[in-house]
Structure formats: structure tokens, C-alpha cells
Amino acid sequence: MINKIKQALGIENVKIAITAEPILHGKEGYLEGVLEASTLSDNLIQEVQFRIIERYERGRKDERRIDEYIIGSMTLKGPIHITKDEVTRIKFFVPYEIQVSEMDKMEKNLLLKPLIMAAKKIKSVKSQFRIEAEARVAGVSLHPFYKLPLTLQEK
């Protein structure tokens, strides 16, 4: 009885992790990594959904606004059999493309660059990136989830 409840809630079930270089190289490309899945009992993963997300913040205090944009996604279809007490490793590639704002486009102009940088500093503009993975496991209502922070490295 307790084992069935644990199974339904995902307790002591499939655990996932992402091993990847936590750097996005340039405004577009692919993020390559390895999904590691382990479990305490044999399980079946139906699919794994990967999303690369940009968290865009601007403003200060009461005027602070935060938006999140999905800049890349990929779904890995199953079934993937996870064996008890073994780590299953699956290689993945997620394409991404970062949207460039009008301010970023104008920043390429050498005369406007100091003004744009000052405006961004005044508005407290910053972007943070992360990759998320969610595995859909058969017979489980709470699916395993993993987040890994990323940094953007301009070319």
C-alpha cells in the first residue's frame, strides 16, 4: 500500500540530472549535454521535455518587470527503460535562438554604444538563462524535474 502511494507521488522514483557545459555560445546554436536518470525500481520514461529559458528583468522596486521566454526546446520521445540501481545516460542537443532587442541592435553602433549601456544600467536590465528538463514517467503524477543555470558567452 505504501509503495503504491510512493509510486503515484514519485517519491523514491526516477531522479534526473543534466550534465552539460553551462555556457550558451553566441546568440544561436545548440546546447549539448547528457541526461542522467536513475531509480530505485524499474521504470519507464515516456518522454523528456527540454526547454532553454531566458529570464529578462528590467526596472527597479515597484516598477520591476520580469518576463520569461522559451528560446529553445526539444522533446526526447520514449520509451526509455530505467533499470534499478543503474544510471542511464542519454545524449541530447537542444537548439536555441536568443531574440535580439532593438537596444541590442543599436548597441553595435560605436557612437550609440555608451548611451545604450548607460540606459541599460539605469533601467537595471539583465538576462538570466537556464535549461529545464521534465521527464514523463509512466504511472506517476509528480514528474521528475531538473534545472541548470546557464551563462551567455558572446562570440
The answer to the question of residue 74 being in a domain is yes
Distance in angstroms (rounded) separating the CA atoms of residues 37 and 142? 16
> What is the count of structural domains for the chain?
1
The answer to the question of residue 34 being in a domain is yes
Tens digits of residue pLDDT in 86-130: 899 999 999 999 887 676 777 777 777 788 778 777 777 788 999
Q: Which residue has the cell 525500481?
A: 41
Distance in angstroms (rounded) separating the CA atoms of residues 31 and 133? 13
Cα R_g (the chain), whole angstroms: 20
Q: Which has the closest alpha carbon to 122: 103, 98, 100, 108?
A: 103
Q: For residue 148, what pLDDT is reported?
A: 94
Q: What is the dihedral of CA 136, 137, 143, 149, to 10 degrees?
A: -60
The answer to the question of residue 80 being in a domain is yes
Would you place residue 6 in the very low, low, confident or very high pLDDT band (cuts 50, 70, 90)?
low
Q: Which has the closest alpha carbon to 128: 145, 107, 152?
A: 152
Which helix (H) or strand (E) is 115 found in, with range?
helix 113-123
Three-class SS state of 23 = strand
Question: What is the SS3 string spanning 22-51?
Answer: CEEECCEEEEEEEEEEECCCCEEEEEEEEE
The answer to the question of residue 138 being in a domain is yes
Would you place residue 5 in the very low, low, confident or very high pLDDT band (cuts 50, 70, 90)?
low
Distance in angstroms (rounded) separating the CA atoms of residues 76 and 79? 9
The answer to the question of residue 115 being in a domain is no
Mean pLDDT (the chain, rounded): 84
| CATH code of residue 144 | 2.60.40.640
Evaluate if pTM is beyond 0.85.
no
Is there a contact between 52 and 71 (Cβ–Cβ < 8 Å)?
A: yes
The answer to the question of residue 104 being in a domain is no
The answer to the question of residue 107 being in a domain is no
Q: Print the domain residue range for 18.
A: 2-98+125-153
The answer to the question of residue 67 being in a domain is yes
